[in-house]
Homo-oligomer: A and B are copies of this chain.
């Protein structure tokens, strides 16, 4: 679909008005109907694999012509594994409890009436994402289940795939009698559409950008609608002087290498000076065996070199670099206080771990590190909605307001107060 440039603001406004209207209906639709729509979508995706892949191929061809990097092309690809994981994800979300209507608190007012705090949807959520087409389905489903209308604005690279997926979403809504406007896909990737969208704070209550730092920054700086940010993770593991050496090696290697391209992978390793000579070589050998490049401060570098382990020299910039790759920065510290100061300065407040047998040191770390998730003797790799028992996640918030850390269905909700009395007035 091509949209004339001059029509874009009114097109987007119209989408937002209809989303707002449908959100008021959707807020009171029962779980059963929402689940039916989600399960129907799963069926429709399964029944349309060849057609989806055909559309996806158009995007892949265009991407190759445009000279996209291989990692970009990889993200763009909708292969069978990704399709079945989308379908499986949909069925899992349908099986989760509905967060809407849950009673959160009750207060009995001295004048004899009751005040109940009840979970309700946020309203209309705008999802701004880049090249991964599975986001279209994942986010549509999570918003639908939590009773929110959604407006999806995907990246231009995946436009054909997204359009095809969005058509199936509409069909599923239609066939199960839900408002067609409950999930809307913006049929243009013109920047003007995004710029209009980000200012519609009367109709849209929340914006969630999903993608790289550039996108998130653009959205936060230009939106007058509240944004929940999911920045990447600069995560640190601190090996304390009271660390068990085998546990330290195992946790550091896991946090760095088990899945290096995700946000909860470790980027920095801090080692307490008192155990530097003993612990660092063993940990470093574990990392090197997995192909990790080591970037060390001068003192750590000396220890590594004496032990015959290759390393590079770390720069100031490395401490706040998210490699998303098999590289780690290593620094020596004198105390848990110094470790915490380092993390609070250079980290991204995402996930950090301490390895220690000392309870007091661990508690100081858990309290003093200002990150959404803090680990004692556990790998940082567990920061994830599924691992935290949320059943699903729309992302991992790096904000402090509303949702912090893994964000599931409950975090896609707000609340309201219902007050019931018998004519009480304020004196």
CB within 8 Å of B: which residues of A? Answer: 24, 27-28, 107, 109, 113, 115, 122-123, 201, 205-206, 220-221, 224, 226-228, 244, 247, 250-251, 254-255, 258-259, 344, 362, 366-368, 370-379, 381-383, 387-389, 399-402, 404-405, 414-427
Do B374 and A251 have beta carbons less than 8 Å apart?
A: no
The residue in chain B whose Cβ has the minimal distance to the Cβ of A359 is: B420
Residues in B whose Cβ lies below 8 Å from that of A379? 424-426
Do A414 and B426 have beta carbons less than 8 Å apart?
A: no
A224-B224 in contact given A368-B28, A420-B376, A426-B258 (Cβ < 8 Å): no
Do A205 and B388 have beta carbons less than 8 Å apart?
A: no
Copies in the complex: 2
Residues in B whose Cβ lies below 8 Å from that of A417? 372-374, 383, 388, 405
Do B254 and A400 have beta carbons less than 8 Å apart?
A: no
Distance from A83 Cβ to chain B, minimum over Cβ atoms (Å): 25
Distance from A202 Cβ to chain B, minimum over Cβ atoms (Å): 11
How far, in whole Å, are A130 and B91 apart by their CA atoms in the complex? 51
| Given A375-B421, A382-B426, 15 additional A-B pairs, CB 8 A | A109-B382, A123-B370, A123-B400, A226-B226, A226-B399, A226-B401, A247-B422, A251-B423, A254-B425, A258-B426, A374-B417, A375-B419, A377-B423, A378-B419, A379-B424
Distance from A308 Cβ to chain B, minimum over Cβ atoms (Å): 27
A389-B115 in contact given A376-B421, A423-B247 (Cβ < 8 Å): yes
How far, in whole Å, are A389 and B420 apart by their CA atoms in the complex? 15
Partner of A421, one of B255, B259, B377, B414: B377
Residues in B whose Cβ lies below 8 Å from that of A224? 220-221
Residues in B whose Cβ lies below 8 Å from that of A123? 370, 400
Residues in B whose Cβ lies below 8 Å from that of A421? 375-378
Partner of A254, one of B24, B368, B414, B426: B426
Residues in B whose Cβ lies below 8 Å from that of A376? 418-421
Q: 9 shortest A-B CB distances, which residue pairs? A: A254-B425, A378-B421, A381-B426, A400-B414, A247-B423, A402-B402, A401-B402, A373-B417, A107-B389
Do B228 and A401 have beta carbons less than 8 Å apart?
A: yes
Residues in B whose Cβ lies below 8 Å from that of A420? 362, 366, 375-378
Do A122 and B221 have beta carbons less than 8 Å apart?
A: no
Distance from A277 Cβ to chain B, minimum over Cβ atoms (Å): 22
Do A374 and B414 have beta carbons less than 8 Å apart?
A: no
How far, in whole Å, are A388 and B206 apart by their CA atoms in the complex? 26
Distance from A305 Cβ to chain B, minimum over Cβ atoms (Å): 28
Residues in B whose Cβ lies below 8 Å from that of A387? 109, 426
How far, in whole Å, are A377 and B251 apart by their CA atoms in the complex? 58
Do A251 and B419 have beta carbons less than 8 Å apart?
A: no
* Residue with the highest number of chain B CB atoms closer than 10 Å, among A247, A419, A423: A419
Residues in B whose Cβ lies below 8 Å from that of A418? 366, 374, 376
How far, in whole Å, are A206 and B123 apart by their CA atoms in the complex? 22
The residue in chain B whose Cβ has the minimal distance to the Cβ of A368 is: B28
Do B401 and A416 have beta carbons less than 8 Å apart?
A: no
* Residue with the highest number of chain B CB atoms closer than 10 Å, among A122, A227, A372, A421: A421
How far, in whole Å, are A107 and B382 apart by their CA atoms in the complex? 13
The residue in chain B whose Cβ has the minimal distance to the Cβ of A259 is: B426
